[in-house]
Amino acid sequence: GAGVSQTPSNKVTEKGKYVELRCDPISGHTALYWYRQSLGQGPEFLIYFQGTGAADDSGLPNDRFFAVRPEGSVSTLKIQRTERGDSAVYLCASSRSFYNEQFFGPGTRLTVL
Amino acid sequence: AQKVTQAQTEISVVEKEDVTLDCVYETRDTTYYLFWYKQPPSGELVFLIRRNSFDEQNEISGRYSWNFQKSTSSFNFTITASQVVDSAVYFCALSDNTGNQFYFGTGTSLTVIP
Protein backbone atom coordinates (compact mmCIF):
# COMPACT_ATOMS: atom_id res chain seq x y z
CA GLY A 1 0.00 0.00 0.00
CA ALA A 2 1.42 3.30 -1.07
CA GLY A 3 1.73 6.05 1.46
CA VAL A 4 1.48 9.77 0.91
CA SER A 5 3.89 10.94 -1.75
CA GLN A 6 5.14 14.42 -2.44
CA THR A 7 6.99 15.81 -5.40
CA PRO A 8 9.52 17.19 -5.83
CA SER A 9 11.50 16.15 -2.78
CA ASN A 10 13.66 19.24 -3.15
CA LYS A 11 13.01 22.51 -4.90
CA VAL A 12 15.45 25.36 -5.23
CA THR A 13 14.14 28.55 -6.73
CA GLU A 14 14.98 32.20 -6.94
CA LYS A 15 13.22 34.97 -5.11
CA GLY A 16 10.20 36.14 -7.03
CA LYS A 17 9.58 32.90 -8.89
CA TYR A 18 6.44 30.77 -8.86
CA VAL A 19 6.49 27.20 -7.51
CA GLU A 20 4.08 24.29 -7.34
CA LEU A 21 4.32 21.49 -4.84
CA ARG A 22 2.35 18.30 -5.37
CA CYS A 23 0.82 15.87 -2.92
CA ASP A 24 -0.61 12.42 -3.67
CA PRO A 25 -2.60 11.25 -0.67
CA ILE A 26 -3.41 7.70 0.30
CA SER A 27 -6.20 6.37 -1.90
CA GLY A 28 -9.59 6.79 -0.28
CA HIS A 29 -8.51 9.44 2.20
CA THR A 30 -10.92 12.34 2.01
CA ALA A 31 -9.07 14.69 4.33
CA LEU A 32 -5.86 16.35 3.17
CA TYR A 33 -3.68 18.82 5.07
CA TRP A 34 -0.76 21.01 4.16
CA TYR A 35 1.79 22.10 6.74
CA ARG A 36 4.99 24.07 6.73
CA GLN A 37 7.86 23.07 8.99
CA SER A 38 10.79 25.34 9.66
CA LEU A 39 14.01 24.10 11.20
CA GLY A 40 13.57 23.23 14.85
CA GLN A 41 9.85 23.85 14.80
CA GLY A 42 6.72 21.76 14.73
CA PRO A 43 4.56 21.58 11.63
CA GLU A 44 2.52 24.73 11.13
CA PHE A 45 -0.96 24.25 9.71
CA LEU A 46 -1.62 25.88 6.34
CA ILE A 47 -4.81 24.48 4.82
CA TYR A 48 -7.24 21.57 5.17
CA PHE A 49 -9.30 19.97 2.39
CA GLN A 50 -12.32 17.78 2.90
CA GLY A 51 -12.88 16.29 -0.53
CA THR A 52 -12.44 18.94 -3.20
CA GLY A 53 -13.16 21.96 -1.06
CA ALA A 54 -10.88 23.85 1.27
CA ALA A 55 -12.60 23.47 4.63
CA ASP A 56 -10.13 25.75 6.36
CA ASP A 57 -7.45 27.89 4.75
CA SER A 58 -6.86 30.16 7.71
CA GLY A 59 -3.26 29.00 8.06
CA LEU A 60 -2.14 30.31 4.68
CA PRO A 61 0.22 33.18 5.54
CA ASN A 62 -0.86 35.55 2.75
CA ASP A 63 -2.43 35.67 -0.69
CA ARG A 64 0.76 34.47 -2.39
CA PHE A 65 -0.15 31.00 -1.17
CA PHE A 66 -2.92 29.00 -2.77
CA ALA A 67 -3.85 25.32 -2.87
CA VAL A 68 -6.22 23.24 -4.95
CA ARG A 69 -7.57 19.73 -4.94
CA PRO A 70 -9.80 19.65 -8.03
CA GLU A 71 -10.75 15.97 -8.04
CA GLY A 72 -10.59 15.26 -4.36
CA SER A 73 -7.33 13.35 -4.46
CA VAL A 74 -4.10 15.02 -5.64
CA SER A 75 -3.45 18.47 -4.24
CA THR A 76 -1.14 21.22 -5.39
CA LEU A 77 0.21 23.97 -3.20
CA LYS A 78 1.11 27.05 -5.22
CA ILE A 79 3.34 29.86 -4.09
CA GLN A 80 3.63 33.04 -6.12
CA ARG A 81 6.46 35.58 -5.95
CA THR A 82 8.45 33.44 -3.57
CA GLU A 83 10.40 35.09 -0.78
CA ARG A 84 13.41 33.85 1.16
CA GLY A 85 11.18 33.49 4.22
CA ASP A 86 9.16 30.84 2.38
CA SER A 87 12.09 28.44 2.64
CA ALA A 88 10.94 25.45 4.71
CA VAL A 89 9.84 21.85 4.41
CA TYR A 90 6.26 21.64 3.15
CA LEU A 91 4.45 18.60 4.48
CA CYS A 92 1.30 17.00 3.22
CA ALA A 93 -0.84 14.61 5.26
CA SER A 94 -4.01 12.67 4.57
CA SER A 95 -6.51 10.84 6.73
CA ARG A 96 -9.77 8.92 6.34
CA SER A 97 -11.61 11.70 8.09
CA PHE A 98 -10.75 14.61 10.28
CA TYR A 99 -10.71 12.72 13.57
CA ASN A 100 -8.49 9.92 12.34
CA GLU A 101 -4.74 9.89 12.47
CA GLN A 102 -2.93 11.69 9.72
CA PHE A 103 -0.39 9.97 7.54
CA PHE A 104 2.40 12.28 6.48
CA GLY A 105 4.40 12.41 3.31
CA PRO A 106 8.18 12.86 3.24
CA GLY A 107 7.85 16.56 2.51
CA THR A 108 9.21 18.95 -0.10
CA ARG A 109 12.19 21.00 0.97
CA LEU A 110 11.81 24.43 -0.61
CA THR A 111 14.80 26.74 -0.74
CA VAL A 112 14.35 30.27 -2.01
CA LEU A 113 17.64 31.95 -2.90
CA ALA B 1 -6.89 29.72 21.68
CA GLN B 2 -5.44 26.33 21.02
CA LYS B 3 -1.86 25.76 22.05
CA VAL B 4 0.51 22.89 22.70
CA THR B 5 3.61 23.31 24.84
CA GLN B 6 6.50 20.91 24.92
CA ALA B 7 8.84 22.51 27.40
CA GLN B 8 11.63 19.98 26.91
CA THR B 9 13.60 20.96 23.85
CA GLU B 10 16.22 18.24 24.04
CA ILE B 11 16.63 15.17 26.20
CA SER B 12 19.50 12.69 26.30
CA VAL B 13 19.28 9.34 28.06
CA VAL B 14 21.43 6.29 28.19
CA GLU B 15 20.04 3.18 26.56
CA LYS B 16 17.65 1.17 28.75
CA GLU B 17 16.70 4.19 30.83
CA ASP B 18 13.08 5.26 31.01
CA VAL B 19 12.20 8.71 29.71
CA THR B 20 9.05 10.84 29.88
CA LEU B 21 8.23 13.51 27.34
CA ASP B 22 5.91 16.22 28.60
CA CYS B 23 3.02 17.79 26.73
CA VAL B 24 0.71 20.49 28.06
CA TYR B 25 -2.16 21.79 25.99
CA GLU B 26 -4.65 24.65 26.05
CA THR B 27 -8.11 24.58 24.55
CA ARG B 28 -11.57 25.91 25.26
CA ASP B 29 -13.24 23.02 23.49
CA THR B 30 -14.84 20.24 25.47
CA THR B 31 -14.29 17.81 22.62
CA TYR B 32 -10.79 17.60 21.23
CA TYR B 33 -8.17 15.11 20.16
CA LEU B 34 -4.57 14.69 21.23
CA PHE B 35 -1.83 13.02 19.24
CA TRP B 36 1.79 12.04 19.46
CA TYR B 37 3.98 11.78 16.39
CA LYS B 38 7.58 10.64 15.97
CA GLN B 39 9.90 12.26 13.44
CA PRO B 40 13.05 10.16 13.00
CA PRO B 41 16.17 11.57 11.34
CA SER B 42 14.78 10.44 7.97
CA GLY B 43 12.21 13.18 8.42
CA GLU B 44 8.84 11.52 7.90
CA LEU B 45 6.34 11.99 10.71
CA VAL B 46 4.99 8.74 12.09
CA PHE B 47 1.72 8.53 13.99
CA LEU B 48 1.96 6.99 17.47
CA ILE B 49 -1.33 7.56 19.26
CA ARG B 50 -4.63 9.45 19.22
CA ARG B 51 -6.74 10.23 22.26
CA ASN B 52 -10.12 11.93 22.45
CA SER B 53 -10.97 14.21 25.33
CA PHE B 54 -13.52 11.84 26.81
CA ASP B 55 -11.14 8.95 27.19
CA GLU B 56 -8.77 9.50 30.08
CA GLN B 57 -7.67 5.91 30.30
CA ASN B 58 -3.94 5.56 30.14
CA GLU B 59 -2.63 3.45 27.34
CA ILE B 60 0.31 1.13 27.00
CA SER B 61 1.70 -0.18 23.76
CA GLY B 62 4.83 -2.23 24.21
CA ARG B 63 7.50 0.04 25.63
CA TYR B 64 5.35 3.13 25.07
CA SER B 65 2.78 4.47 27.49
CA TRP B 66 0.71 7.62 27.65
CA ASN B 67 -0.71 9.44 30.64
CA PHE B 68 -3.65 11.73 29.87
CA GLN B 69 -4.76 14.01 32.70
CA LYS B 70 -7.46 16.55 31.93
CA SER B 71 -7.09 18.13 35.37
CA THR B 72 -3.62 19.33 34.46
CA SER B 73 -4.18 19.51 30.67
CA SER B 74 -1.31 17.15 30.11
CA PHE B 75 -0.71 14.23 27.79
CA ASN B 76 2.69 12.83 28.68
CA PHE B 77 4.53 10.09 26.85
CA THR B 78 6.85 7.58 28.49
CA ILE B 79 9.30 5.28 26.80
CA THR B 80 10.42 2.40 28.96
CA ALA B 81 13.83 0.78 28.49
CA SER B 82 14.79 3.23 25.76
CA GLN B 83 16.65 2.04 22.68
CA VAL B 84 18.87 3.83 20.19
CA VAL B 85 16.12 3.51 17.57
CA ASP B 86 13.93 5.71 19.75
CA SER B 87 16.18 8.68 18.93
CA ALA B 88 13.95 11.15 17.12
CA VAL B 89 11.97 14.32 17.54
CA TYR B 90 8.62 13.72 19.18
CA PHE B 91 5.68 16.03 18.61
CA CYS B 92 2.51 16.37 20.59
CA ALA B 93 -0.50 17.76 18.70
CA LEU B 94 -4.01 18.96 19.44
CA SER B 95 -7.04 19.02 17.19
CA ASP B 96 -10.39 20.62 17.90
CA ASN B 97 -13.68 18.83 17.37
CA THR B 98 -13.93 19.96 13.77
CA GLY B 99 -10.54 18.55 12.91
CA ASN B 100 -9.98 21.53 10.67
CA GLN B 101 -6.72 22.46 12.29
CA PHE B 102 -4.00 20.63 14.05
CA TYR B 103 -1.74 22.44 16.48
CA PHE B 104 1.68 20.95 16.97
CA GLY B 105 4.11 21.62 19.77
CA THR B 106 7.67 22.57 19.01
CA GLY B 107 8.85 19.03 19.60
CA THR B 108 11.25 17.29 21.95
CA SER B 109 14.45 15.93 20.49
CA LEU B 110 15.32 12.66 22.18
CA THR B 111 18.77 11.16 21.91
CA VAL B 112 19.36 7.69 23.26
CA ILE B 113 23.02 7.04 23.86
CA PRO B 114 24.22 3.46 23.48
Tell me if B106 and A107 make a contact (CB, 8 A cut-off).
Answer: no
Query: Contacts of residue A34 in chain B, CB cutoff 8 Å?
Result: none
Query: Which among B47, B55, B52 is positioned nearest to B91, based on CA atoms?
Result: B47
- Can you state the percent helix, strand and coil of chain B, rounding each to 5? 5, 55, 40
Distance, in Å, from the CA atom of B104 to the CA atom of A106, rounded to the nearest integer, reads 17
Tell which of A4, A102, A109 to mutate to test the B interface (max B CBs under 10 Å).
A102
Q: Which residues in A1-113 belong to E strands, given as ranges?
A: 5-7, 10-13, 19-24, 31-37, 44-50, 53-56, 65-68, 75-79, 88-95, 103-104, 108-112
- Answer yes or no: are the C-beta atoms of B78 and B18 closer than 8 Å: yes
A110 touches chain B (CB under 8 A): no
Tell me if B104 and A102 make a contact (CB, 8 A cut-off).
Answer: no
Residue A8: asked if its preceding bond is cis (omega within 30°), the reply is: yes
Residues 6+ apart with CB under 8 A from A63: none
Query: Contacts of residue B37 in chain A, CB cutoff 8 Å?
Result: 104
pLDDT digits (tens, 9 = 90+) for B53-109: 988 888 888 999 999 999 999 999 999 999 999 999 999 999 887 767 789 999 999
Tell me if B106 and A41 make a contact (CB, 8 A cut-off).
Answer: yes
Tell me if A106 and B44 make a contact (CB, 8 A cut-off).
Answer: yes
Distance, in Å, from the CA atom of A36 to the CA atom of A38, rounded to the nearest integer, reads 7
Three-state DSSP class for B70? Answer: helix
pLDDT digits (tens, 9 = 90+) for B8-47: 999 999 999 999 999 999 999 889 999 999 999 888 899 9
Query: What whole-number percentage of chain A has pLDDT above 70?
Result: 99
Q: Tell me the shortest Cα–Cα distance from B84 to chain A, in angstroms.
A: 21
